[in-house]
Amino acid sequence: MARNDWASNLALLLLGGAFAIASLQLNFGTVHRPGPGFLPFWTASGLILVASFSLARALVEFQRRKSAQGERLFDSSVLNVIATVVILAAYAIGLEWLGYNLSTFALFIFLFKVSGFRRWLNILIAAFLTTSLSYLFFGSWLGVRFPKGFLAF
Amino acid sequence: MGFLQGFEIAFQLQNLFYCFVGVFVGTLVGVLPGIGPSAAMALLLPITYNISALGAIIMLAGIYYGAMYGGSTTSILVNIPGEAASVITTLDGYQMAQQGRAGPALGIAAFGSFIAGTISVLGLTLIAGPLVQVALKFGPPEYFSLMALGLIILIHLTGGSVAKGFMMGLLGLLLSFVGLDTITGAPRFNFGMIQFMEGIGLVPLMMGLFGIGEVLINLERPEERGHIVTAGYKGLLPSVKDWKDSIGAILRGSVVGFFLGVLPGGGTTISSFAAYGLERKISKHPERFGKGAIEGVAAPEAANNAAVGGSMIPLLSLGIPTNGVIALLLGALIIHGLRPGPELLEKNPDIFWGFVASMYIGNAMLLVLNLPLIRVWVQILKIPYRLLFPLILLFTIVGSYSMQNSLFDVKLMIFFGVAGYLLRKFNYEPSSLIMAFVLGPMLEEAFRQSLIISRGSFHIFISRPLSLAFLVLAVITALSSLAPVLRRHLRSG
């Protein structure tokens, strides 16, 4: 069991707790005639049980290895991940307002920059081509109706 | 409608085209490390919305067995497995390549895959029909017990921590309960959001966990690109001696792979390891293994392809997936309005037999694709991942959006993408979650229907022999999962 497992176990324990509480607010039914909350409650209880057991083990392990040099779960390369998630979230939020073509063009400028393209002209050309081709493929050929945005474009 | 009519359907031009696209893309993702068949199936799912259900299943299954073929190329030439199922092939495949025998290694991997794939589809043809007749006698208690058994075996065999496997299974079940209750119509866990009334979509969930999750984890790693062995892959035809050394391994690998594929929780990876282990055990010269033994390439490559055909049997005849990738295929079939199981053969025999026949054709296509195009695959191996990931992200975004033209689904997919990344960081296996998510509604329905039939008596699950047998197996599996943990606990305390 990894040193950092207590965090994931705790998160799953809380998630199980939230589902268990929400299940109790549903019609639980009876053992002989279960309602919509019956199986979710027992499933959530199972998750709580396993997560609690794992959390206890992970905490013991954490204490034991506290002084030792533990493995690092995240290093500086996580910044790439965070930046990509932030830009994806911004893209999802901006997609309706900016429309598919503009927002996808902007997204690809970022992604190609992250992926190591050096020259801005190359980045702009690659982003333009990818956006246009994806629109032709998905929008025109497969008939996906993309959001047009405030420019109706 | 029967098997021969299935060939008539599979040979229709559009179905041949979907089969070709599936096996081509499958080989491509098999060749490229960092993209698995699950992610590829998730990515291509939106393309199948506009095609027939049969075309969709032919293409998606083609990706699965195509990836098994393609995975060997990277294992042999670069020492990096394209797929988890080809990990074991690196041991002898790369050694053969370094000894200037990359050609025979690639050749025997392709021929072995073809022979095993064909044998397993033959098994599928012979077994699936009779099994459907048995499955028609199943009631809700048998289905509940069988699904519970499948889930527990999958968790048991996913590797790593059993507790983590169980937690993923339970979380998958909980996520599957979101939305309207199928029996009473009561909304559950929608947190006041109308978008959750119909439940969490399979597409944003799997695209997030497998597509975005894999991209994010790969962004963190330095790019793995080993030295590509380009010498000695021109003479692809194995010699008579190579055939003599390999044919037994191919046949044994086919049998091992097929049966492990049929079992719940079995799959391509386990099959390839089991077949390799068997060959080493029965070999007169086990010391040759790991140093370029051709049987070490033939057996696992045959086994992982045979496992694909085997795993289709429970899916098509019982409607039960035996591993995470098959769960994705089941989800895709449900999206196309089909319910795999005994009813599929009765109500849609054209789809059933057309699909089975397409697997014969697909295996033949792969043999033709793999050998002459080896130079193309070698060139593709040189494409850096940093150029691929923007395109993968684009596919996931458009894929999750296009299902219902929903921006909410895109946001949900990004959320699950982050979740998928974190799960991998903490060594959780998302395929257990997906399998439980797909089985959840069926499991709950079977459970509650059983209790309605029995007027609330749990006795129904143990009074029916098949249901009892499945439950006993489930309990034995669960206990055998817990045994090592308890032993460790007792030893330390």
Please state the ipTM of this predicted complex.
0.90
CB–CB contact A47 B171 (8 Å) = yes
CB–CB contact A5 B426 (8 Å) = yes
pLDDT tens across B17-75, in order?
999 999 998 888 888 766 677 777 877 777 787 788 899 999 999 998 888 888 888 78
CB–CB contact A130 B47 (8 Å) = no
Residues A82 and A59 in one domain: no
Residue B490 CA to residue B493 CA, distance in Å, equals: 5
The better pLDDT of the pair B492, B393 is held by B393
Name the residue with tokens 């086994």: B303
User: Looking at residue A29, what DSSP letter applies?
Assistant: B
CB–CB contact B426 A33 (8 Å) = no
Residue B469 CA to residue B29 CA, distance in Å, equals: 39
Which residues of chain A make contact with B188, given a CB cutoff of 8 A? 22, 26, 36-37, 40
Q: Out of A62-71, B122-131, B284-293, which region has the weakest mean confidence (pLDDT)?
A: A62-71
Helix pair angle (B13-31, B3-10), 10° resolution: 80
Which residues of chain A make contact with B183, given a CB cutoff of 8 A? 36
* pLDDT band for position A113 (cuts 50, 70, 90): confident
Chosen for mutation from B151, B167, B404, B412 (greatest number of chain A CBs closer than 10 Å) is: B167
Print the domain residue range for A121: 78-141
Q: Nearest 5°: phi and psi at B338?
A: -105, 150
CB–CB contact B418 A115 (8 Å) = no
Say if CB B204 and CB B409 are below 8 A apart: yes
Residues A83 and A135 in one domain: yes
Residues A53 and A100 in one domain: no
Where does B32-161 have alpha helices with state H? 37-44, 53-78, 89-98, 102-135, 140-157
Name the residue facing A144 among B387, B398, B414 (closest C-beta). B398
Q: What pLDDT shows up at residue B34? A: 61
Chosen for mutation from B48, B397, B489 (greatest number of chain A CBs closer than 10 Å) is: B397
Question: A36: nearest CA in chain B?
Answer: B181
pLDDT of A18 over the 90 cut: yes
| Domain tally, chain A | 2
Say if CB B361 and CB B9 are below 8 A apart: no
The verdict on residue A147 lying in a domain is no
In the listed set A64, A87, A112, which residue is the last one of a domain according to the structure? A64
Which residues of chain A make contact with B51, given a CB cutoff of 8 A? none
Q: Nearest 5°: phi and psi at B188?
A: -130, 135
The verdict on residue A137 lying in a domain is yes
Question: B212: nearest CA in chain A?
Answer: A85
Residues A89 and A123 in one domain: yes
pLDDT of B265 over the 70 cut: no
Name the residue facing A40 among B49, B188, B407 (closest C-beta). B188
Residue A146 CA to residue A90 CA, distance in Å, equals: 17
The verdict on residue A146 lying in a domain is no
H or E segment at B461? helix B460-463
The verdict on residue A149 lying in a domain is no
Residue B268 CA to residue B274 CA, distance in Å, equals: 10
Q: Out of B32-41, B267-276, B312-321, which region has the weakest mean confidence (pLDDT)?
A: B32-41
* Residue A87 C-alpha, separation from nearest chain B C-alpha, in angstroms: 11
Name the residue facing B184 among A12, A35, A96 (closest C-beta). A35
Q: Find, among B30, B40, B87, the residue nearest to B215 by Cα.
A: B40
Residues A14 and A58 in one domain: yes
In the listed set A13, A41, A64, which residue is the last one of a domain according to the structure? A64
CB–CB contact A27 B186 (8 Å) = yes
Q: What pLDDT shows up at residue B232? A: 57
Say if CB A149 and CB A103 are below 8 A apart: yes
Q: What pLDDT shows up at residue B472? A: 93
DSSP labels, B374-404? HHHHHHHHTS-HHHHHHHHHHHHHHHHHHHH
Helix pair angle (B349-370, B53-78), 10° resolution: 30
**In the numeric block, which tokens belong to residue A16?**
């199980």
Q: Nearest 5°: phi and psi at B12?
A: -65, 145
Name the residue facing A77 among B220, B390, B452 (closest C-beta). B220
Mean pLDDT (chain B) is: 84
* Residue A145 C-alpha, separation from nearest chain B C-alpha, in angstroms: 7
Q: What pLDDT shows up at residue B487? A: 73
Say if CB B365 and CB B20 are below 8 A apart: yes
Which residues of chain B make contact with A51, given a CB cutoff of 8 A? 167
Output the CA angle B36-B40-B45, nearest 5 degrees.
Answer: 150
User: Looking at residue B266, what DSSP letter applies?
Assistant: -
Q: Out of B8-12, B304-308, B400-404, B475-479, which region has the weakest mean confidence (pLDDT)?
A: B400-404
Say if CB B245 and CB B54 are below 8 A apart: no
pLDDT tens across B183-222, in order?
888 889 887 888 888 889 888 888 888 888 888 888 887 6
pLDDT of B83 over the 80 cut: no
Q: Which residues contact A28 (CB under 8 A, 6 or more apart)?
A: A34, A35, A37, A38, A41
Residues A97 and A51 in one domain: no
User: Looking at residue A74, what DSSP letter applies?
Assistant: -
CB–CB contact B451 A12 (8 Å) = no
Chosen for mutation from B152, B426, B432 (greatest number of chain A CBs closer than 10 Å) is: B426
**In the numeric block, which tokens belong to residue B277?**
């282990």
The verdict on residue A152 lying in a domain is no
Q: What pLDDT shows up at residue A116? A: 75
Domain ranges of chain B: 3-139+196-408
Which residues of chain A make contact with B50, given a CB cutoff of 8 A? 142-143
The verdict on residue A53 lying in a domain is yes
In the listed set A64, A89, A107, which residue is the last one of a domain according to the structure? A64
CB–CB contact A96 B407 (8 Å) = yes
The verdict on residue A44 lying in a domain is yes
Residues A52 and A95 in one domain: no
Residues A87 and A137 in one domain: yes
Residue B487 CA to residue B20 CA, distance in Å, equals: 51
* Residue A81 C-alpha, separation from nearest chain B C-alpha, in angstroms: 6
Beta-carbon neighbour count of residue B263 at 10 Å? 19
CB–CB contact B166 A50 (8 Å) = yes
Residue B308 CA to residue B312 CA, distance in Å, equals: 7
Say if CB B195 and CB B406 are below 8 A apart: yes
Which residues of chain B make contact with A116, given a CB cutoff of 8 A? 386
Q: Out of B21-30, B450-459, B475-484, which region has the weakest mean confidence (pLDDT)?
A: B475-484
SS3 helix, strand, coil % of chain B, rounded to 5? 75, 0, 25
Residues A83 and A136 in one domain: yes
Q: Find, among B289, B233, B288, the residue nearest to B76 by Cα.
A: B233
CB–CB contact B390 A37 (8 Å) = no
In the three-class reduction of DSSP (H, G, I as helix; E, B as strand; rest coil), residue A33 is classed as coil
Say if CB B289 and CB B97 are below 8 A apart: no
Rounded to two decimals, the pTM is 0.79
Q: What pLDDT shows up at residue B333? A: 86
Percent of chain A residues past pLDDT 90, beyond the cut? 41
Considering Cα of B260, then B262, then B263, then B267, what sign does the dihedral take? positive
* Residue B436 C-alpha, separation from nearest chain A C-alpha, in angstroms: 11
Residues A56 and A99 in one domain: no
Q: How many residues does chain A have?
A: 153
